Structure 1
Amino acid sequence: MTKVVDLSLAGRGNYVSNRGAFTLLAWFVIEACIVNNRLMPVSRLRAALLRLFGARIGKNCRFLHAIRVKSPWNLEVGDNSWFGEDVWIYNQAMIRIGSNVCISQGTFLTSGSHDLDEDMDLRVSPIVIEDGVWITSKCVIQKGVTIGRSTVVTPLSVVHRSLPAEGIYGGNPCRFIRKRFAS
């Protein structure tokens, strides 16, 4: 008979929550009512609330549309970065986003995943997105990845390995297409 994983045995693996129940509940309400609210087109308010809950957000960042952030205390964003509609930052571990980065509509960044073996323990690892990166629409960026400076990830790509700087990458799995700049 084919094996089935008993999900009741799945553990937290290397994930450690570093916030209390009140903070988690307060963020859940604020995120649902304001940060992820399509009727609230106020970028500065979203940035201020993310900062209030521990995110480090640089100058001139644009959060014009609804966005989801699991743990703002695990988020760093440089200056002049833009976030498209329906971006989901599922950050059980730190996600660092550089300056002048564009993360387009529907992109999902996750710093955690479950083991594929029998115990299905949760494993978390940081994501680093360096300066000048453009992640186009509906991409998936997985745990432990670094995306190099000035790289472009084309639509619907799945990034599960780190990408060197100044390239254009795309697909599932993500592959090198060409250099971004001629010189």
Structure 2
Amino acid sequence: MNIAIISGSARPKRQSHQVALSLKGKLDLLKKDNWLWDVKESNLPLLDYTFDSHPAPGEVLKALKPRLDATDAFVIVSPEHNASYPGSLKNSMDYFYKEYGNKPFGIISVSAGVLGGINAVRSLQQYIIKLNGIVCPQFLITPKVQALFKDGQLTDESYGTRMDQFVDNFIHFADKVI
């Protein structure tokens, strides 16, 4: 199974990216084929055409297309921005559509507050359904993310345990769907 981890924030000093990198590390330890789609790094312009209708897709889009085609499952790691997910995430994902169809999606939300991004989870669930993706019923919320890492390393064992449980459940779910 090839899993894409979508790191959904393009902001400077983004905390959610640490969570995405931690997830990647866990999948690597489990020897699960995975790759990281960092929306900040891909830096796609505001959507004008989807990939399929684009008269001249750039190199970044051309490189993403075969990777998305080869992806079996997705995990979105998203901060909560104004009670939803970031526009940068939606803009990046909206370049594609059929690449997500009938594929399993997991959601990890991130927040500096105590609710852990639960509003982003709800919004992403609706968005994934619109993309014809299949939403994993279990999600992982990440409250007070600023207290979970030190120098890029996860230091909170209880969150690490919750992430392990999420990964196990998501892989089991994705295996059943695929």
Task: Point out the structure with the larger helix share.
Answer: 2
Task: Point out the structure with the larger strand share.
Answer: 1
Q: TM-score, normalised by structure 1?
A: 0.24
Q: TM-score, normalised by structure 2?
A: 0.24
The one of the two structures with greater contact order (alpha-carbon pairs below 8 A, sep at least 6) is: 2
Q: Which structure has the larger Rg?
A: 1
